Amino acid sequence: MKGTRVVVTGLGVISPLGNTVEETWQNALAGKSGIECLDGIKDIDDNPRVGGTVKNFDAVARFGAREARRLDKASQFGMQAAEQALIDSGLQITEENMYDVGCVIGTCVGGIESMVDATIDFEQRGQRGVSPLAIPRILVDSPSGRVSMANNLRGPNFAIVSACATGNNCIGEAADMIRLGRAKAMLSGSSEATLIPMVLAGFDNMKALAHYEGGDPTTISRPFDLNRSGFVGGEGAAVLMLEDLDYALARGARIYAEIVGYGHTSDAYHITAPREDGVSASEAMKRALKDADLKPEQIDYVNAHGTSTQLNDKSETTAIKLALGEHAYNIPLSSTKSMTGHMLGAAGAIEALFSILAIRDNMIPPTINLDTPDPDCDLDYTPNVSRKHTVNHAMSNSFGFGGHNTVLVVSRYDGAKA
């Protein structure tokens, strides 16, 4: 979509790698993993579950005991990341601009932990056992609504659900809202909190989760490695402040990058499995490039979806080759899910954030645990060690159950660009 230029002026994150942007980014560059054994959660064979967990986050200290009870973890994480992004942007919300600033904060499954808890309460105690806070905690739009309320954002406010592509769709749609003139600034991103027994059991029964039978849990997520066995779940949130370029310049905002391309397609194939030929995912990349008015050879880095499942990593490799041609072999890629785990609905947002920081610092985060290359995955996935590399244009891929393929292209801000 052509029109107003959209830039990123603020970043916020809470993740398995840290509770601030710089802590998360530096740990990613260092190749550290946020994956650990989950206390008290085991699989059917009595093996511990593992996941990428948010650490040292005290919801009571952050929100107060009364408010913390009103919020599912997904809302808590989303509000924390959004507050960081708003503060980082330096944008002050006033009576003059409050209807020009909105938010699109998505999540894949909303307050799933609160839903499970409410179901148990109902089964055990009947209607009287269900808290009046249950429904507000459960709703998928609660993170976005709560961010709007907490910051007096009276512009557009909604949530998007597209499974593991949610974060990219939220950012892309927020950018389009600004391009259409429906807002001057938008907090956009996604949040997820699903590391609970029921969700993990469901993914395990689908044969999607990585197998863990002891040893070092940080080595289990291994995208593009021959010995990968499935994804590892993660939790957290990431939020970007997007602004109309003229609006940002008028207030002297610092600009991290520009959102230049947005493409999305559907596999129309299978509810969970990707198309093995990669055709539809490739088309999403091509459409994002067309939207950005860039040629394949101008892309300097791809943050891959890279889930560590057999099918995804092969099909994504095929799709990248179809979209970028021979240039696919000339540039670094990486899957930061090797360190964060798969944050589901929040994955696209944190990976867009990583792509922006790759541009800022000209650094490529690694794909850790890539020790035995898969012959079918034959691109440069930046194995194990981060790398200095000039990045002017980065592509971030997100693909979700239901066949969602969503791609963002972010670029270094060029003030001279027409």
Alpha carbon distance 85, 211 (integer Å):
36
Contact predicate 389/365, CB 8 Å = no
Instruction: Please name which of 105, 102, 189 lies closest in space to residue 143, comparing C-alpha atoms.
Output: 105
Catalytic residue among 164, 170, 264, 377: 164
Beta strands in 107-179 (DSSP E): 157-158
Contact predicate 305/223, CB 8 Å = no
Alpha carbon distance 57, 59 (integer Å):
6
At 286 the three-state DSSP class reads helix
At 303 the three-state DSSP class reads strand
Q: Which amino acid is at 197?
A: P
Instruction: Please name which of 138, 110, 339, 106 lies closest in space to residue 240, comparing C-alpha atoms.
Output: 106
Question: Is 342 tagged catalytic?
Answer: yes
- DSSP strand pairing (35-42 vs 48-52): antiparallel
Question: Is 164 tagged catalytic?
Answer: yes
Tokens of 251: 């207030």
Contact predicate 352/167, CB 8 Å = yes
Catalytic residue among 103, 108, 305, 404: 305
Contact predicate 127/62, CB 8 Å = no
At 66 the three-state DSSP class reads helix
Instruction: Please name which of 194, 226, 230, 188 lies closest in space to residue 12, comparing C-alpha atoms.
Output: 188
Catalytic residue among 108, 170, 264, 342: 342
The 8 Å CB, 24+ separation contacts for 39-46 are 41/195, 41/196, 41/197, 41/200, 43/200, 43/201, 43/204, 43/212, 44/201, 44/204, 45/213
Alpha carbon distance 405, 351 (integer Å):
15
Chain-centroid distance, C-alpha 366: 17
Angle between helices 279-292 and 310-324 (to 10 degrees): 40
- DSSP strand pairing (257-266 vs 387-388): unpaired
Alpha carbon distance 412, 258 (integer Å):
6
Contact predicate 152/93, CB 8 Å = yes
Q: Which residues are catalytic?
A: 164, 305, 342
